Amino acid sequence: MFFKPLVVACALLQASGLVSAAEYWESFKSNVNPKNITIPNIPQTTSKDESTQCKWYDASPLFTFNAADWPTPWMVATSNGMNTTAEFKALYNSIDWSKAPKIPVRRKTPDGSIDLSGYDSSDPDCWWSATTCTAPKYANTNPDIYSCPEPETWGLTFDDGPNCSHNAFYDYLEKQKLKASMFYVGSNVINWPYGAMRGVRDGHHIAQHTWSHDLMTTLSNQEVLAELYYTQKAIKMVTGVTPKYWRPAFGDVDDRVRWIATQLGLTNILWNLDTDDWAAGLTEPVEKIKKTYEDFITMGTNGTFAKSGNIVLMHEIDATTMDMALEYLPKIQKAYKRVVDVATCMNITYPYMEKTVKFDGIGKSSNATTSSTTKKSPASTAHHSTAASPSASKASENDPSAAPNLAASLSGLMVAAVVSIAVLV
């Protein structure tokens, strides 16, 4: 008696063109095949000159940007009326907000940083900014990933891409067969689509880093959902894949934000080592950041990571951070047994909602520095690839990003169906 109405409701939902939190990503229609990406040889994709790389280009027909369809770049994702679109309202209404944690929206200080004053020291909300808590205290909320379990492993991650001037940086990673978890900002993805496509084409693990890089706990439920949703949409439309993983700007997350991310099937990836590379030459002396790198490299040989690995926060944000990575990656590779992306170190076979791109597990990674039997793949010609990511692995999937449970998913479908019925009637 239950399943027949459900089937009818789902049919109505599909016919209306509206989406629920359980299936939202299926409504994104991309022109990009993530396993066969061809990037044109234009100055922006081939030059090493920063100003040349960062000139605007039209990525049609792979991705055509229409400003009316997106939040304003670098503004909170409800901007440009994006919280009033039919697709977003249907998504928002499909979520049972009565089950959301009753956690207040945080405040910013006058200088724009997070205001921690008055917060309960017992940390009832698992607020990372206050306590670096990574184990949610609220039920049905995906726990954070913050370290690689395999010993002597450097979890390679870069935030804030795709940077328009990253050609030399990505060329180096490709030449060294290094794969990283790239946390892309939605605003950058629509601004520099070929850069994001290259990340997938080169086999990097693409995750999201919100739309506007704002402090997530200071945003309303609607704003948090929009930041995540429109970044998911941007990455899918531009690259053909929808991430299962994300990272909040500045690591600012609590159980309210985690719960909302969980509704979209997203799991947070943090870190246990922070290079502070973004601050080099700005708020910290360059030599201080280099000393941090040297200290982390020493940890690879002094037994610090003899029983487990790390995940290291690095940035694609500018020439300084990318050049610093290029300087220290050879030393990192010498000091650690493996230098791999987080999907690989966690043995996550499918890091995207789609099953089109498959990753090898830690045992088959070509980034193990002690391996003498690694097979070299054919060099990429021009900017074309027929295999955007490590594949053909039979490693078991260990995926902590499971979407909300079946009951929650069905509930979301039914609520969205009611909305759809109202629209159709």
86: helix, coil or strand? helix
Return the structure tokens found at 378: 């054919």
| DSSP H or E run through 161 | strand 153-161
Q: Concatenated DSSP letters for 374-402? A: PPPPPPPPTTB-S--S-----PPP--TTP
Under 8 Å between Cβ of 211 and 83: no
Catalytic, 315? Answer: yes
Under 8 Å between Cβ of 67 and 202: no
Return the structure tokens found at 13: 């939902």
Catalytic residue among 159, 160, 277, 341: 159
Under 8 Å between Cβ of 293 and 320: no
Q: DSSP secondary-structure letter at 143?
A: P
Nearest to 403 by CA among 146, 207, 141: 141
Under 8 Å between Cβ of 154 and 180: no
Catalytic residue among 204, 315, 341, 360: 315
Tokens 């600012």, residue?
252
CA 249 to chain centre: 11
Catalytic, 159? Answer: yes
Return the structure tokens found at 19: 């989406």
Catalytic residues: 159, 315
